[in-house]
Chains A and B, each alone.
Chain A
Amino acid sequence: MTVFRSPMEKVLTEQENETVVTNPKEPFRTFLRKIAYRIAVLRDRLRRSPRQSTDDDASPKPPRSRS
């Protein structure tokens, strides 16, 4: 846990943590590209998740042979 020496230090640290780092030449386009990336990541996760669950249901692990 972070210990602050004064309430002001806490406020300043919180403000600093909210500081956004971006490409200064084209901040809006960079933002749009990030949105597109996030959507692509979500789509990929959604596409993978049902397949994984159906794989788990459809193909149970073969029993181990005891020989």
Chain B
Amino acid sequence: MDRRCEILIVDDEPIVGERLLASLRKDGHIVEAFTDPAEALRRLETKTFDIVVCDIRMGEIDGLEVMARVLQASPRTKVIMITGYATLELARESLTKGAFDFIAKPFKLAEIRKTIAKAIAAVDAADAPAAPAAGS
């Protein structure tokens, strides 16, 4: 594992959250999972996460809206979109609107672990102080 980081999972299917929660906690991360996007948004008002893993098609609030709210509150947070209704247009829309990655269900845990490792590296790179320009 690269480093301990704080991850939020939002998926209306409880089994998805449970599986991701268990495996990511095993990797040493601090993980919270919500099945209700409204509840997740309330949590996001009080806490910022390094990574958010979010389903797209949920009840009243969809994943793209959750992503917009996450990025508005914390631009450094990396949002990974997951969906069982993947289309090229949806993938493009997600990435254009600021998603770090787009994963179509079904996926293996190894796949999301790899994506999370990349997201952690991106968060670390963004947090690292900018190197002084050569010659200055």
Interface positions of A (Cβ within 8 A of B): 16-27, 30-31, 33-34, 37-38, 40-41, 44
A17-B108, A38-B104, A40-B87 given; 6 more Cβ-contact pairs under 8 Å:
A16-B109, A17-B110, A18-B110, A21-B108, A23-B13, A23-B16
Interface centre among B13, B87, B104 (most CB of A within 10 A): B104
CB-based contact A18/B108 at 8 Å: yes
Measured in the bound complex, the distance between the Cα atoms of B95 and A41 in whole Å is: 14
Give the tally of cross-chain contacts (CB within 8 A). 64
Q: Compute how far the CA of A33 lies from the CA of B105 in the bound complex, rounded to whole angstroms.
A: 9
B112: Cβ under 8 A from any A Cβ: yes
Nearest-CB distance from B92 to chain A (Å)?
Answer: 9
Size bracket of the B interface? 20 to 34
Residue B131 CB within 8 A of the other chain: no
- B126 contacts the other chain (CB 8 A): no
Question: B19, B23, B86: which contacts A37 (Cβ < 8 A)?
Answer: B86
**Which residues of chain B are within 8 angstroms of A25 by Cβ–Cβ distance?**
13
| CB-CB under 8 A for A23 and B84, given A17-B108, A33-B104 | yes
Contacts of B106 in A (CB 8 A): 20-23, 27, 30-31, 34
B20 at the binding interface (Cβ < 8 Å) = yes
